[in-house]
């Protein structure tokens, strides 16, 4: 099975639909939608909690009887702004009405009803810069492990042209705390300008998985296990949204030993 999912637009605006069954794993689901102004989308996930991320545009969203009006503050993921997001526990009815053309990402993972619906506001999200030199990238923590959720971890990353990201290569595919945790992961990619591409390699220590992909705009890369660095060519900026989940809601990663020297200088 290929680890690369290319966009396929459906009648309701969905163009990425990753489920545990389609990915052949246990925890992570991911969907991406493009909705036209005034278009309405109705959702219910019985067993999964959700994190709705308004990637671009504005929308009104109702969850059961709780209403959130005029959510959204950027018209492109490449603007220097954080997104608006909603945490929704499992078994809640959701109605999304697009006020402008919107790009919407929906992260899903097992939910147990422990936390209420909430608006995750941009000012509540933390930013950080990782790496140095041509390894520099900017991180926005949308739903990190310090914030309340049953399973989901959600983060977005912006990487300038010519830089590397998710690098040095690291993995999180072993339930081995405090060394490492097991987390499945999706990478939803956007490229600016949109005709560009990035490269992503997914590989394990024994190379039983070793796939290098030219990833185009709106593609999703599945990371069931192994290392997963991203290289961004000159002339094109990279954005990706990560969704992670596993048996424990904790992100502990292990760097590839061959490349650890870069961090030990």
What CATH number is attached to the domain comprising 257?
Answer: 2.60.120.10
Per-residue pLDDT tens digits of the chain, which is 265 residues long: 689 999 999 999 999 999 999 999 999 999 999 999 999 999 999 999 999 999 999 999 999 999 999 999 999 999 999 999 999 999 999 999 999 999 999 999 999 999 999 999 999 999 999 999 999 999 999 999 999 999 999 999 999 999 999 999 999 999 999 999 999 999 999 999 999 999 999 999 999 999 999 999 999 999 999 999 999 999 999 999 999 999 999 999 999 999 999 998 7
> CA of 77: how far to CAs of 95, 104, 216, in Å?
23, 11, 15
How far apart CA 35 and CA 39 sit, in angstroms, is 6
Tell me how many domains the chain contains. 1
Coil, strand or helix at 69: strand
pTM over cut 0.75: yes
What tokens does 191 get?
């490229």
> Domain span at residue 89?
4-262
How far apart CA 207 and CA 184 sit, in angstroms, is 18
How far apart CA 262 and CA 200 sit, in angstroms, is 20
């Amino acid at each position: 099975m290929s680890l690369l999912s290319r966009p396929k637009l459906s009648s309701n605006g969905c163009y990425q639909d990753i489920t545990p069954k389609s990915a052949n794993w246990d925890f992570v689901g991911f969907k991406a939608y493009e909705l036209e102004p005034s278009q309405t989308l109705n959702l219910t996930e019985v067993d999964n909690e959700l994190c709705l991320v308004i990637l671009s545009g504005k929308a009104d969203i109702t969850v059961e009887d709780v209403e959130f009006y005029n959510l959204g503050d950027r018209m492109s993921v490449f603007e220097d702004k954080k997104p608006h997001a909603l945490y929704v526990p499992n078994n809640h009815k959701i109605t999304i009405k697009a006020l402008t053309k919107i790009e919407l990402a929906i992260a899903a993972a097992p939910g147990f009803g422990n936390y209420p619906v909430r608006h995750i506001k941009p000012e509540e999200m933390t930013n950080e810069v990782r790496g140095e030199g041509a390894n520099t990238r900017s991180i926005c923590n949308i739903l990190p492990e310090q914030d309340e959720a049953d399973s989901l971890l959600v983060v977005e990353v912006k990487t300038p042209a010519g830089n590397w990201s998710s690098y040095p290569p690291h993995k999180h595919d072993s339930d081995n705390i405090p060394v490492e945790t097991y987390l499945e992961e999706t990478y939803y990619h956007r490229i600016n300008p949109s005709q560009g591409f990035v490269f992503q390699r997914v590989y394990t220590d024994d190379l039983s998985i070793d796939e290098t992909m030219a990833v185009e705009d709106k593609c999703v890369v599945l990371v069931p296990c192994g290392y997963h660095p991203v290289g961004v060519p000159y002339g094109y900026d990279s954005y990706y949204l990560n969704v992670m989940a596993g048996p424990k809601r904790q992100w502990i990663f292990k760097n590839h030993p061959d490349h650890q020297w870069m961090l030990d200088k």
